[in-house]
């Protein structure tokens, strides 16, 4: 039987619409159900494909059905597809013991490109993520996915890295099983490759 | 979705749970018009319809959908109508008349409300429609309840011969949770022939029977398994929750350590109010906190009930402080409200020193990379700026609602509800005969065109308004997820149908019609200007498929677009960062270290329009663009 460090265990998956946020959350949720847990997932949507900030909340319990939203300050794991979004989420949801796995590649908001807003200094931004978390692992998931063959697999690459975090609630095998069930053919191959590369990247000491 | 595996536990989205519930209820008929957050329901029903031997359609609008369900019900069919909050309001006349005529086969309307308007222009509370139309309403909190309430709603509907509404909210539709599957029926109940003297007519003498049906369900709701209580007996602090607030409250009372002295009354079968059941708990209470989404519907109902029973209670909720009057409930505002109810202190949450200081830029929504709407609004703004005055643009509902922001060059000044643009423009266009010296323009998408725009066009042509309607024909109901509509040639069940030709319809109505491709920017701008100069009701069809749809269907490699750094003049160019700042496609980014333009290869879909707009000719396209 799986042991949960916290009950409910709270995971936030965050990024920008179109980065595969909902799918990543669904994969994590399904893997936790396979391990015999009760799972609730809350998605933001509507902004999907349209450049807005998006997040999904995955909540895991061995007792009750949790609500679909995490209270502020109660996230235990943050999976972030973009550094600014990771910080935005860490400020609201990080608590006493929070691990972040994130892609440090910035995607500029429209307002920044139009010169009406400023993107924070990337070093300072990452420093703040570290200050808010007990462990922050920066993994270039989009680059890995492009190397694997398609940038759209960045979400799966980051899940690979997530499985390697110390104390991760899911193993590499748990997630690989879901991928094999969820995808077929060329897409499965791409995702398996990106996933394996993500696992490898986490091992290379991306931890800071 | 159709696995006959009773007892299996599956992670299901709320929308999926509704689909499963419909299959378990053995529906014969389903109809819907897409609207977030429940858009996916009918798409999934369409996919399983053949296997489960029922009919499913994407109707042209919500009124068609609910009335088609009434027709099906008359032949004894179990019919499911799915709408969003705004769609339910579209059906208001049909719903009210339908409640008076009653139903034969069960008729369940699933309506989805969008508290905080995550994917809507506004937040509504559908429960008032149930009250106004005198029909019963159920509201699930968990995905399990979402599934189980569909067969339950059909049973209630058939027990009294009346429409039943199931109200969802965004957090149910787009949440996922564990669902234990039930049994699927072997086969659907046979239909019933409509006999010569059968009647399903809305007439005034049915008013009384309509109210009797409602009272019968009040009795049933006093015993409903979807209304339950947890907590100590005779709790003086009572929480009454309808919908998602219940789960937030369950966790918050534990965090605050007050679970031994607070009662939690959950109402899932909530209209008509199960008064006797509620009074059992109100009688022992002193303070009552109501948790519900959007309006103080239960709060007002319970306050009136308490007043009638001469109970002296303190109410807390959206009407009485403790909770915000607008926006959705969340774990934080619920915890705070319970802290006010009980006096238990809130746990302190602090950021470490130095964190939280730098302001973080917000991400404004924008059109996708390669979206044809971006080009249309860019050209429209350009053309109108060159008129002697700026003109009036009336918006409508679809992705192009975002054109009101920087995504569409702040492209319109007014927007009402779906299908409203053409008639608001008609009103303005009439005033051009009375001294208003501005060009009047409105826009609509292809799905909106069929949904409600057509009668407005008939009106505008017949009344000789001076105006231009731009139909943004991207061959998709893009905002809600690419559902088929009468212009696409596809049906919900995957069949082919003869697509309706918007141009021919417009010509038959008697409009001046032209077609342009917004990606052929020079030609499209010329056509646009020519039409702006013409009197009468003009229609310009801007035809270019949705970029997301094209990406989904793309077989080969996308064209590569890049910035020739030797030709980009960067900040020194007089273009004022035309590509990233003015054109504003998310694929056009800026290298702040070199001060020059670049293309984000991840985001760019390769439409190549920015290459046509770059004054320095620095943007290069390799490979074939379809534009």
Over residues B521-531, the mean pLDDT reads 96
Is residue A8 reached through a cis peptide bond, with omega within 30 degrees of 0 on the bond before it? yes
CA distances from A160 to A82, A203, B560 (A): 16, 10, 29
CB neighbours (10 Å) of residue B601? 15
Of B9, B247, B367, the CB nearest to A67: B247
Pick the CATH number of B554-622 from 3.30.1300.10, 1.10.1060.10, 3.40.190.10, 3.30.70.20: 3.30.70.20
Note whether B60 contacts A: Cβ–Cβ < 8 A.
no
What is the percentage of chain B residues whose pLDDT exceeds 70? 99
Sign (positive or negative) of CA dihedral B381, B385, B387, B393 = positive
Q: Per residue in B12-22, pLDDT tens?
A: 999 999 999 99
Provide, for chain A, the percentages of residues in helix, strand and coil under a 3-state DSSP scheme, each rounded to the nearest 5.
Answer: 45, 20, 35
User: Above 90 in pLDDT, residue B350?
Assistant: no
Of B79 and B352, the one with more pLDDT: B79
Contacts of B583 (CB under 8 A, 6+ apart): B374, B378, B609, B610, B613
**Chain A interface, best mutation among B16, B145, B360, by max A CB count within 10 A:** B360
CA geometry: angle at B36 spanning B33 and B39, to 5°?
50
Of A69, A88, A132, the CB nearest to B360: A88
Coil, strand or helix: which one is A140? coil
Assess if residue A153 is contained within a domain: yes
Burial B7-28 (b: 16+ CB within 10 A, else e): eeebbbbbbbbbbbbbbbbbbb
- Round to whole Å and give the CA distance between A132 and B33: 45
Given a contact cutoff of 8 angstroms between Cβ atoms, the answer to whether B607 and B367 are in contact is no
- Round to whole Å and give the CA distance between B288 and B454: 50
CA distance A164 to chain B (A): 24
Q: Per residue in B445-486, pLDDT tens?
A: 999 999 999 999 999 999 999 999 999 998 877 777 788 899
Assess if residue A4 is contained within a domain: no
User: Above 50 in pLDDT, residue A7?
Assistant: yes
Q: In chain B, which segments carry CATH 3.40.50.970? A: 10-190+200-221, 372-552
Note whether B584 contacts A: Cβ–Cβ < 8 A.
yes
Nearest CA in chain A to B577: A114
Give the per-residue pLDDT at A47: 54
Q: Per residue in B193-209, pLDDT tens?
A: 999 999 999 999 999 99
pLDDT band at B143; cut points 50, 70, 90: very high
Taking contacts as CB-CB distances below 8 angstroms, the residues of chain B near A27 are none
Residue B537: name the closest of B473, B472, B470, B451 by CA: B470
Give the per-residue pLDDT at B476: 75
Burial B289-323 (b: 16+ CB within 10 A, else e): bbbbbbbbbbbebbbebbeeeebebebbbbeeebb
Given a contact cutoff of 8 angstroms between Cβ atoms, the answer to whether A15 and A85 are in contact is yes
Give the per-residue pLDDT at A208: 41
End-to-end CA distance of chain B: 40
Of A43, A111, A142, the CB nearest to B362: A111
Rg of chain A over all Cα atoms, to the nearest angstrom:
16
Task: Output the six-digit token pair for A169.
Answer: 């609630």
Instruction: Please give the CATH architecture assigned to the domain spanning B10-190+200-221.
Output: 3-Layer(aba) Sandwich (3.40)
Q: What DSSP letter does each residue of B585-624 carry, written as one string?
A: -TTEEEETTTTEEEE-TTT-----HHHHH-TT--EEEES-
User: Above 70 in pLDDT, residue A16?
Assistant: yes
Residue A7, Cβ density class (10 Å: 0-12 exposed, 13-18 middle, ≥19 buried)? middle
- The alpha carbon of residue B557 and the mean position of all alpha carbons in its chain are separated, in whole angstroms, by 34
User: Above 60 in pLDDT, residue B153?
Assistant: yes
Of A50, A112, A119, the CB nearest to B366: A50
Q: Per residue in A129-172, pLDDT tens?
A: 999 999 999 999 999 999 999 888 999 999 999 999 988 999 99
Assess if residue A1 is contained within a domain: no
Note whether B360 contacts A: Cβ–Cβ < 8 A.
yes
Give the per-residue pLDDT at B521: 96
Contacts of B372 (CB under 8 A, 6+ apart): B472, B474, B518, B519, B542, B544, B545, B546, B547
Taking contacts as CB-CB distances below 8 angstroms, the residues of chain A near B362 are 53, 109, 111, 117
Given a contact cutoff of 8 angstroms between Cβ atoms, the answer to whether B539 and B506 are in contact is yes
Give the per-residue pLDDT at A204: 65
Nearest CA in chain B to A47: B365
Residue the block writes with tokens 């402080």? B321
Q: Per residue in A52-74, pLDDT tens?
A: 889 999 999 998 889 999 999 99
Task: Output the six-digit token pair for B615.
Answer: 């004054």
CB neighbours (10 Å) of residue B463? 12
Residue B17: name the closest of B41, B50, B49 by CA: B41
pLDDT band at B272; cut points 50, 70, 90: very high
Taking contacts as CB-CB distances below 8 angstroms, the residues of chain B near A71 are 251-252, 255, 331-332, 335
B227-342 — its CATH code?
3.40.50.920
- Round to whole Å and give the CA distance between B271 and B221: 8
Residue A1: name the closest of A78, A63, A64, A77 by CA: A63
CA distance A40 to chain B (A): 4
CA atoms within 13 A on the CB side of B37: 30
Give the range among A76-85, B76-85, B123-132, B479-488 with minimum mean pLDDT: B479-488
CATH of the domain at A197: 3.40.920.10
Of A95, A112, A146, the CB nearest to B361: A112
Assess if residue A182 is contained within a domain: yes
Q: In chain B, which segments carry CATH 3.30.70.20? A: 554-622
DSSP letter at B29?
A: E
Given a contact cutoff of 8 angstroms between Cβ atoms, the answer to whether B616 and B569 are in contact is yes
CA distances from B132 to A156, A199, B93, B137, B569 (A): 49, 57, 11, 11, 64
Over residues B245-256, the mean pLDDT reads 96
Q: What is the enclosing helix (H) or strand (E) of B71?
A: helix B62-74
Given a contact cutoff of 8 angstroms between Cβ atoms, the answer to whether B559 and B611 are in contact is no
CB neighbours (10 Å) of residue B207? 12
Given a contact cutoff of 8 angstroms between Cβ atoms, the answer to whether B79 and B72 are in contact is yes
What is the percentage of chain B residues whose pLDDT exceeds 90? 87
Of A46, A95, A124, the CB nearest to B358: A124
pLDDT band at B627; cut points 50, 70, 90: very low
Assigned CATH class of B372-552: alpha beta
- Round to whole Å and give the CA distance between B375 and A10: 42
**Chain A interface, best mutation among B40, B172, B363, B405, by max A CB count within 10 A:** B363
Put the strands of the sheet holding A53-61 in their side by side order: A135-138, A94-102, A75-80, A9-16, A53-61, A38-43, B175-180, B9-13
- The alpha carbon of residue B12 and the mean position of all alpha carbons in its chain are separated, in whole angstroms, by 20
Given a contact cutoff of 8 angstroms between Cβ atoms, the answer to whether B550 and B369 are in contact is no
Assess if residue A85 is contained within a domain: yes
- Round to whole Å and give the CA distance between A163 and A27: 12
Nearest CA in chain B to A114: B581
- Round to whole Å and give the CA distance between A201 and A165: 11
**Does the beta-carbon distance from B335 to A91 stay under 8 Å?**
no
State how many domains chain A has.
1
Contacts of A202 (CB under 8 A, 6+ apart): A101, A137, A139, A160, A161, A162, A163, A164, A165
Give the per-residue pLDDT at A113: 85
- Round to whole Å and give the CA distance between B178 and B335: 24
User: Above 90 in pLDDT, residue B626?
Assistant: no
Assess if residue A111 is contained within a domain: yes
Is residue B272 reached through a cis peptide bond, with omega within 30 degrees of 0 on the bond before it? yes
Query: Which residues form the domain of A92?
Result: 9-203
- Round to whole Å and give the CA distance between B94 and B72: 15
Give the per-residue pLDDT at A207: 43
**Does the beta-carbon distance from B178 to A119 stay under 8 Å?**
no
Helix axes B245-256, B331-342, angle to 10 degrees: 60
Please state, rounded to an integer, the average pLDDT across all residues of chain B: 94
Q: Rounded to two decimals, what is the model's pTM?
A: 0.95
Taking contacts as CB-CB distances below 8 angstroms, the residues of chain A near B364 are 51-52, 109-111
Residue the block writes with tokens 């015993």? B223
Is residue A105 reached through a cis peptide bond, with omega within 30 degrees of 0 on the bond before it? no
Give the per-residue pLDDT at A46: 53
Over residues A20-39, the mean pLDDT reads 92
């Amino acid at each position: 039987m799986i042991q949960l460090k916290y009950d409910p265990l709270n995971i936030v998956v965050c990024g920008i619409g179109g980065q595969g946020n909902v799918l990543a959350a669904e994969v994590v949720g399904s893997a936790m159900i396979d391990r015999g847990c009760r799972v609730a997932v809350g998605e933001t949507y509507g902004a999907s494909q349209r450049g807005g900030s998006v997040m999904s909340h995955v909540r895991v319990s061995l007792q009750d059905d949790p609500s679909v939203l995490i209270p502020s300050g109660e996230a235990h794991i943050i999976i972030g597809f973009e550094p600014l979004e990771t910080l935005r989420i860490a400020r609201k949801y990080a608590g006493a013991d929070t691990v972040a796995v994130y892609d440090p590649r910035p995607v500029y908001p429209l307002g920044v490109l139009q010169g009406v807003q400023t993107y924070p200094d990337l070093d300072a931004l990452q420093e703040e993520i570290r200050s808010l978390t007990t462990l922050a692992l920066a993994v270039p998931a989009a680059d890995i996915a492009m190397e694997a063959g398609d940038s759209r697999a960045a979400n799966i690459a980051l899940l690979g890295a997530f499985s390697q975090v110390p104390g991760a609630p899911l193993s590499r095998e748990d997630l690989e099983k879901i991928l094999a069930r969820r995808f077929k053919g060329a897409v499965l191959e791409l995702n398996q490759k990106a996933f394996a590369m993500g696992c490898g990247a986490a091992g290379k000491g991306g931890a800071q | 979705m159709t696995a006959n595996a009773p007892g299996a536990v599956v992670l299901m989205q709320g929308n999926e749970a509704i689909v499963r519930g419909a299959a378990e209820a053995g529906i014969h008929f389903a109809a819907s018009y897409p609207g977030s957050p429940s858009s996916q329901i009918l798409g999934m029903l369409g996919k399983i319809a053949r296997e489960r031997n029922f009919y499913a359609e994407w109707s042209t609008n919500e009124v068609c959908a609910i009335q088609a369900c009434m027709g099906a019900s008359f032949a004894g069919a179990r019919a499911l109508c799915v709408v969003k909050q705004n769609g339910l309001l579209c059906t208001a006349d049909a719903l009210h008349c339908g409640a008076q005529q009653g139903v034969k086969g069960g008729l369940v309307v699933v309506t989805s409300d969008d508290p905080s308007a995550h994917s809507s222009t506004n937040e509504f509370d559908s429960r008032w429609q149930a009250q106004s139309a005198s029909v019963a309403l159920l509201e699930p909190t968990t995905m399990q309840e979402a599934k189980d309430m569909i067969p339950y709603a059909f049973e209630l509907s058939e027990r009294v011969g009346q429409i039943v509404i199931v109200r969802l909210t965004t957090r149910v539709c787009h949440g996922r949770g564990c669902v234990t599957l039930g049994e699927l029926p072997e086969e659907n109940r046979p239909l019933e022939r409509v006999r010569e003297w059968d009647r399903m007519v809305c007439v005034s003498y049915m008013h009384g029977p309509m109210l009797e049906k409602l009272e019968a369900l009040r009795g049933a709701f006093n015993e409903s398994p979807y209304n339950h209580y947890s907590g100590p007996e005779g709790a003086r602090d009572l929480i009454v929750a309808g919908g998602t607030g219940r789960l937030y409250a369950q966790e918050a009372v534990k965090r605050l350590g007050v679970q031994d002295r607070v009662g939690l009354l959950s109402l899932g079968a909530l209209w008509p109010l199960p008064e006797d059941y509620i009074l059992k708990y109100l009688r022992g209470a002193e303070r009552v906190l109501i948790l519900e989404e959007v309006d103080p519907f239960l709060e007002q109902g319970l306050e009136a009930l308490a007043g009638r029973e001469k109970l002296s209670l303190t109410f807390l909720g959206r009407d009485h402080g403790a909770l915000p009057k607008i926006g959705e409930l969340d774990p934080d505002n619920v915890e705070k409200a319970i802290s006010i109810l009980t006096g238990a202190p809130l746990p302190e949450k602090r950021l470490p020193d130095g964190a939280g200081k730098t302001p973080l830029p917000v991400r404004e929504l924008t059109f996708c990379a390669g979206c044809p709407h971006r080009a249309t609004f860019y050209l429209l703004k350009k053309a109108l700026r060159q008129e002697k005055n700026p003109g009036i643009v009336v918006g409508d509902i679809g992705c192009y609602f975002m054109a009101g922001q920087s995504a569409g060059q702040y492209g319109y000044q007014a927007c009402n509800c779906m299908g409203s643009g053409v008639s608001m423009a008609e009103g303005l266009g009439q005033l051009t005969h009375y001294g208003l010296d501005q060009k009047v323009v409105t826009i609509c998408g292809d799905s909106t065109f069929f949904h409600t725009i057509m009668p407005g066009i008939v009106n505008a042509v017949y009344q000789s308004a001076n105006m231009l309607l731009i139909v943004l024909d991207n061959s998709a109901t893009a905002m809600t997820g690419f559902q088929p509509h009468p212009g696409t040639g596809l049906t919900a069940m995957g069949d082919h149908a003869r697509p309706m030709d918007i141009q021919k319809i417009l010509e038959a109505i008697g409009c001046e019609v032209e077609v342009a491709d917004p990606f052929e920017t020079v030609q499209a701008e010329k056509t646009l200007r020519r039409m702006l100069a013409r009197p009468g009701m003009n229609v310009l069809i801007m035809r270019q498929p949705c970029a997301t749809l094209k990406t989904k269907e793309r077989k080969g490699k996308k064209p590569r677009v890049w910035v020739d750094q030797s030709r980009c003049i960067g900040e020194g160019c007089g273009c004022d960062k035309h590509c990233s700042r003015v054109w504003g496609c998310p694929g056009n980014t800026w290298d702040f270290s070199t001060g020059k333009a670049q293309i984000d290869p991840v985001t760019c879909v390769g439409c190549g329009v920015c290459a046509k707009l770059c004054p320095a000719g620095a943007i290069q396209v390799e490979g074939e663009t379809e534009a």
